[in-house]
Amino acid sequence: MESHSNSSGARTKLDLLYHEVLGEVAGLVARLESATQSLDAVQKQMQSMGEAQQVLPDQLGRQLTATMEAAAKPINQQAQHAIQAMLGGTSNQLNQLSRDAAQYASIAHRSARRMAIIALAVGGTAGILGGLLAGLALGQVLIS
């Protein structure tokens, strides 16, 4: 009987050892399954991040273009208003200058006309006097 109880005690220890080893193996398998699921989730997350990184430059380019256009629009409008204001003042000054130039040209034209009339009168008078003096001189020569 002792050999039977020895064999039964050894069998129980062996069964306990099997149960302990099987429990350890089951725990390891559960941990491996959990790690595999975690790795799958991480892989999916990394894949989605990779896809997002591929699209990111295009999105950044569009966003940058839209931002630059939005920022440039008010600057362009301000520049146009400033140029129009500057050109408005210059236009007024040029209009005044052209009116003054036309007035000065009119004055110069009247002065030139007066000078021509005076020159005509002086020239005519000089011609008459020259003719009279020439006639007198010729008359003196003929009389003498």
Q: Is 134 within the bounds of a domain?
A: yes
DSSP annotation of 41 reads H
* pLDDT tens string 3-29: 555 566 667 887 887 788 888 888 888
Q: What is the length of the chain?
A: 144
d(Cα 80, Cα 118) in Å, to the nearest integer? Answer: 56
Q: Is 71 within the bounds of a domain?
A: no
* pLDDT tens string 52-65: 888 888 888 889 89
How many domains would you assign to the chain? 2
d(Cα 23, Cα 31) in Å, to the nearest integer? Answer: 12
Q: Is the pLDDT of residue 1 over 70?
A: no
Q: Is 66 within the bounds of a domain?
A: no
Domain that holds residue 15: 10-51
pTM exceeding the 0.75 threshold for the entire prediction: no
